[in-house]
Amino acid sequence: MKKIIWAIVAVAIAGYFINSHFEDESKRKVEELKTKKSEEVIRTAVKKMVSRSNAVYDWALHLEKGKKYFSPIFTIDLESVWLTKRPILFIGVIKDIATLDKLNYTIELKRGFHHGEYYVFGEKMEVSLRSSKKIIDSFLKKHPNLNYYDNLAVIARINNIRAVSFLGEDGLMEEVRIGEGKLLDIKYIGRVSLKKLDAEK
């Protein structure tokens, strides 16, 4: 009799764990589906931004042509893809926002830690853009808790590029190239990769 009782208990316990496993697996799949849908919404929004502004979204691919790893990228190389009649798509994180005048801010972005679109390896690039306070205030109201891992997609019209040298953490001189211009559009993308943006467009 005891053996039968223990067998029933064992079956019940096994059934509980099996059922729990399938419930967890089902929840995981639901969450994955939600995440994929959310990421697709962001990619679609960025593609619409690019389409509306006729922005150059693959400028880094053009910049990489003919270059080998660790080959230097000169300012004239960047000028050829940034200083055109079309604006560019730039992915980065907010470095600073400062008041420019009564109606405008200057927003500075540097390449993010999780940029998914194509970039030349090892090159430091930033943008410093004039933007209306209305656009930035509205954006910050929607996303009040931005951090250094939250990427933004911006459409920017670059008017000039300057190179700034600074002392790096290893004590060696480094250089960052900063594109200065105007912000046309902005979108929060978090950690969503845009690596396939050009293939999907």
pLDDT: which is higher, 57 or 115: 57
State the total domains in the chain. Answer: 1
**Contacting residues for 165 by C-beta, under 8 A, at least 6 apart:** 173, 174, 175
Which pLDDT band holds residue 200 (cuts at 50, 70, 90)? very low
What's the pLDDT at 58? 86
Instruction: Note the pTM of the prediction, 2 decimals.
Output: 0.76
**Which CA distances in Å does 17 have to 3, 6, 8?**
21, 17, 14
Does residue 2 form part of some domain?
Answer: no
Does residue 7 form part of some domain?
Answer: no
Across 20-24, 75-79, 163-167, which has the greatest mean pLDDT?
75-79
Does residue 151 form part of some domain?
Answer: yes
Task: Tell me the residue range of the domain where 138 lies.
Answer: 32-200
Tell me the average pLDDT of the chain. Answer: 81
Does residue 102 form part of some domain?
Answer: yes
Inter-residue contact 151 to 112 (CB < 8 Å):
yes
**Bridge-based pairing state of the strands 173-190 and 124-132:** parallel
Does residue 11 form part of some domain?
Answer: no
Which tens digit of pLDDT belongs to each residue from 86-111? 999 999 999 999 999 999 999 999 98
Does residue 24 form part of some domain?
Answer: no
